[in-house]
Amino acid sequence: MNDDRRRIIESLVRSIPELTAGQLHWVQRMVYVYAAEHTYTLNESDLFDEVTLQNFGDAMRVHHSFSSEPFSKDKFEYVIVNVLNLSGHKAELAPKGNPGHDATVDSVQLSLKTQADKNIKEESIWISKFMELGKGNWGDNPDDLAGLRNQYLEHIESYEKIFTLRALQKAPRWKYELVEIPISILKLAEGGELEMKLESKQFPKPGYCYVRDTQGNTVFNLYFDGGGERKLQIKNLNKKYCQVHAEWDFFIPPD
């Protein structure tokens, strides 16, 4: 046991008698959760190492000690920056409300997403709010979709890597994966097929950009959501085009 570890343990032991009954309950709860069954898997990754993998998984287990809700985007952003800094990287969050990247790691700008919908499919990725489409012409003219696609293509130039944290299974046994979506794949939308849904009652009219491989199979679709938020979704992204950096599988025992 190194000196730093010994000092931390001794400090914690000295603090325990001062804790209230309620505080002891929560400390005991976290220790109980940490002792439960878990498996962390590191795949080929230029972002995580074994230490970062462990620290990130343990942070998620702390969260689920107190919540049955999946890890949210803000928690993902906060924790990934902290665990990367612990591993010797230089990581920082972007200013709140920044329209481009969410974090910078070793001078590389990252966009960070999460997926935890109840109908999640392991081999198909959905990003429900990839970006806002608040500017440009958008009504019921199919030609408007070309301008919206150009907004998207400009937007993905504002960062260098895109990661999504996906909750594939939920309480009491959780399974998460960290997936990198190559920007080179997303740029294929430049040659995709545009279709406006003119029969829709929404205004502006929603539309799609279909991106297919040479055999006609779906790579992914852009969905221009004509609802009040005017947002762009990425739908049906085939995970085989992406890279799974890490996986976490753990059980959270009942309180």
Local structure of residue 176 (DSSP, 8 states): E
Q: Does the residue 10 lie in any domain?
A: no
- Residue 172 CA to residue 192 CA, distance in Å, equals 41
Residue-range definition of the domain harbouring residue 130: 36-251
Inform me whether the pLDDT recorded for 80 exceeds 70: yes
Residues 6+ apart with CB under 8 A from 13: none
Q: What is the mean pLDDT of residues 72-89?
A: 96
Q: Does the residue 26 lie in any domain?
A: no
Q: What is the mean pLDDT of residues 44-56?
A: 96
Q: Does the residue 119 lie in any domain?
A: yes
Q: Does the residue 177 lie in any domain?
A: yes
Inform me whether the pLDDT recorded for 93 exceeds 80: yes
Number of structural domains the chain divides into: 1
Inform me whether the pLDDT recorded for 246 exceeds 70: yes
Q: Does the residue 149 lie in any domain?
A: yes
Q: Please write the tens of the pLDDT for every residue from 162-174.
A: 999 999 999 999 9
User: pLDDT-derived band of residue 110, with 50, 70 and 90 as boundaries?
Assistant: very high
> Is the pLDDT higher at 211 or at 18?
211
| Prediction pTM value | 0.93
| CATH code (residue 61) | 3.40.600
User: Average model confidence (pLDDT) for the chain?
Assistant: 94
- Residue 157 CA to residue 247 CA, distance in Å, equals 28
User: What was the pLDDT predicted at 1?
Assistant: 62
Q: Does the residue 20 lie in any domain?
A: no
Q: What is the mean pLDDT of residues 234-239?
A: 98
Edge-to-edge, what's the strand order for the sheet holding 207-212?
124-132, 231-238, 218-224, 207-212, 193-196
- Residue 98 CA to residue 42 CA, distance in Å, equals 30
Q: Does the residue 228 lie in any domain?
A: yes
- Residue 147 CA to residue 149 CA, distance in Å, equals 5
User: pLDDT-derived band of residue 134, with 50, 70 and 90 as boundaries?
Assistant: confident
Q: What is the mean pLDDT of residues 109-130?
A: 97
User: What was the pLDDT predicted at 227?
Assistant: 74
Q: Does the residue 114 lie in any domain?
A: yes
User: To the nearest whole percent, how much of the chain has pLDDT over 90?
Assistant: 84
- The CA distances from residue 93 to 49, 51, 85, 102, in Å, are 20, 21, 11, 6
Cβ neighbours of 34 (radius 10 Å): 13
User: pLDDT-derived band of residue 182, with 50, 70 and 90 as boundaries?
Assistant: very high
Inform me whether the pLDDT recorded for 78 exceeds 80: yes
